[in-house]
Amino acid sequence: MSGLASVLAPIAFVNENVLRLGRAVGVVAIALMVIAILIQVFFRYVLGNALPWPDEAARFCMLWMTGLMAPTAFRRGGFVAIDMLERFLPRVIGQTLNLFLLLIALSVLVVAVNIGWSEVTGFGGKFATAALYLPTSFGFDEWYRIPRSWMMASLLAGIILLISVNIELILRSFITLLGGGHLLPEIPDAAVGAE
């Protein structure tokens, strides 16, 4: 039991700190997404001249926000779940079912890594975005067209973070199944808007 707990401790530590950084970047992405959408609304409906870049910038920010914040939701049990069956089953059977479902989720996530990697490095990742440019000089006279692979890297990053969280949850579930649930530290649940 203590061996599993010692394996769990560094994984939980890394997850907590990496996900804290991911939440901070995700909050910035949400703010930038809202700003881009408000700019587009102003230019489209007030000035009658829609800009080409805000829609793509908002989509870029939304994908990164999702990839960086979904692992936190998974770790804290924030995903939609039907846990009625688990609650009605005896404790050991319910925990075994939970462990089995986490193992299935892990197998799906491992397959998804290949999909995420192919999105970044495959045919679609070789193209650039239609309207997103990054200045490459302080005079703003040279611009670099942002590759689509930068946007799709959010999928790969999110999947890798979800795998890390899933491994932690599998270890937690296994320790709980063996009767050591009281040894596990709580997963901190930040207040809404905190951090």
pLDDT tens-digit readout, 74-106: 988 877 666 777 777 888 888 888 889 899 999
Residue 193 confidence (pLDDT) above 70: no
**Containing H/E element for 70?**
helix 54-75
Of the CA atoms within 13 Å of residue 54, those in its CB half-sphere come to: 16
pLDDT tens-digit readout, 149-192: 999 999 999 999 999 999 999 998 888 888 877 777 788 765 44
Q: For residue 165, with 0-12 CB atoms within 10 Å meaning exposed, 13-18 middle and 19 or more buried, which class applies?
A: buried
Q: What is the pLDDT of residue 140?
A: 83
Q: How far apart are CA 6 and CA 1, in angstroms?
A: 9
Residue 194 confidence (pLDDT) above 50: no
Residue 133: helix, strand or coil by DSSP? Answer: strand
Q: What is the pLDDT of residue 128?
A: 85
Q: What is the pLDDT of residue 186?
A: 80
Please state the pTM of the whole predicted model. 0.86
Q: What is the pLDDT of residue 6?
A: 79
pLDDT: is 43 or 125 the higher one? Answer: 43
For CA atoms 102, 104, 110, 116, the dihedral sign is negative
Q: Where are the beta strands (DSSP E) in the chain?
A: 128-135, 143-147
Q: What is the mean pLDDT of residues 13-24?
A: 92
pLDDT tens-digit readout, 32-69: 999 999 999 999 999 988 888 999 999 999 999 999 99
Tokens representing 189 are 């649940």
Taking the mean position of all CA atoms in its chain, how far away is CA 167?
Answer: 15
Q: What is the pLDDT of residue 4?
A: 78
Q: What is the mean pLDDT of residues 116-122?
A: 90
Q: What is the pLDDT of residue 192?
A: 46
Residue 140, sorted as left (phi over 0), alpha (psi -120 to 50) or beta, turns out to be left
Q: What is the mean pLDDT of residues 119-132?
A: 84
- Which residue type occupies 65? M
Q: What is the pLDDT of residue 190?
A: 54
On whether the CB atoms of residues 111 and 118 are closer than 8 A, the answer is no
Q: For residue 177, with 0-12 CB atoms within 10 Å meaning exposed, 13-18 middle and 19 or more buried, which class applies?
A: middle
Strand partners, 134: 144
Strands 143-147 and 128-135: antiparallel
Q: What is the pLDDT of residue 69?
A: 93
Q: How far apart are CA 155 and CA 135, in angstroms?
A: 25
Closest CA to 97 of 172, 166, 173: 173
Of the CA atoms within 13 Å of residue 187, those in its CB half-sphere come to: 22
